[in-house]
Amino acid sequence: MKIERIEYQAGSVAANGALIYDEKASGRRPLLLVSSNWMGMTEASIDRAATMAGSKYIVFLADMYGGGKVGHAPPDVAPLANGLRADAPERRRRINAALEALRKESDKRGIGDLSRQAAAGLCFGGGNVLELARSGADIKAVICMHGDLITVAPAKAGDIKAAICVMHGAADPVVPKKDRDTFEAEMEGVGAKWQMLVFSGLLHSFCEAEANVPGIGKYDPGAARQCFNMVDDFATAAFDGKL
């Protein structure tokens, strides 16, 4: 698997993301922008993005903090993530810049199919890709796994072009049911094409083996396997106009 670190400008920061693809595969492949949890460009997030790429996708892992920053504990990154949560325009500039880097770098190498573009994110990254959708990005699908659902700048009618899939834990204490209800009202209010799968009893971060925090987040391998399969299923259906 080829992993190329790519420097690009993302809003107010100089970013260092990762372009990830199977260099042995041939032909142009769909684009999948991936946004990691709030710990940033960790080795675990890069490995997970490589698994998501497989031989089917050209993946770009977005750097939301600049400089390829990696957090080692929540106090390292909470101010960075919360600052972006409070600043929707900057958050949207940074995730859109990552999408543009994916488009540019994959096309330059002759490996990206620009007619098939999707984005997926986990936790904080799930919120990032939802903000990408709210910004009106011209992509087919956005998939949010146990992510931030609410925003300081809700979408308006006509803003969202992508089909949206959310996968969430019913017992998530970080993003509780009231946030799911707010998100549902927002999506219905703007006429978005969206769906949500809620897993009974699951906490936050259930797709991330490294993110266990007692009472807050717990990895669930069965749900994780199902969710990662659904990323491909949902994106493919969107590409094929079957949603």
Is residue 137 one of the residues assigned to a domain? Answer: yes
Beta bridge partners of 40: 70
Considering the domain boundaries, does residue 153 fall inside one? yes
Quickly count: other Cβ atoms within 10 Å of residue 28's Cβ.
16
% the chain with pLDDT above 70: 100
Q: Taking each helix axis from N to C terminus, what angle separates 43-53 and 221-239, rounded to the nearest 10 degrees?
A: 50
Q: Give a yes or no: residue 78 inside a domain.
A: yes
- Whether residue 185 lies inside any domain: the answer is yes
217 falls within a domain: no
Which residue segment(s) compose the domain that 81 sits in? 2-166+173-202+228-239
Q: Is residue 134 part of a domain?
A: yes
Note whether residue 108 is domain-resident. yes
pLDDT of residue 72: 82
Digit-coded pLDDT (tens) for 186-235:
999 999 999 999 999 999 999 999 888 899 999 999 999 999 999 999 99
**CA 16, 21, 27, 29 torsion-angle sign:** negative
Domain of 140, CATH number, reads: 3.40.50.1820
Cα–Cα distance, 152 to 87 (Å, whole number): 8
- Token reading at 225: 């396997």
Which residues are CB-neighbours of 173 under 8 A, at least 6 positions away? Answer: 203, 204, 215, 216
User: What is the helix (H) or strand (E) element at residue 46, kind and residue range?
Assistant: helix 43-53
The pTM score is 0.97
Domain count, the chain: 1
Task: Give the pLDDT of residue 76.
Answer: 84
Q: Specify whether the CB–CB gap between 190 and 156 falls below 8 A.
A: yes
Q: Is residue 232 part of a domain?
A: yes
Tokens standing for 54?
A: 């497989």
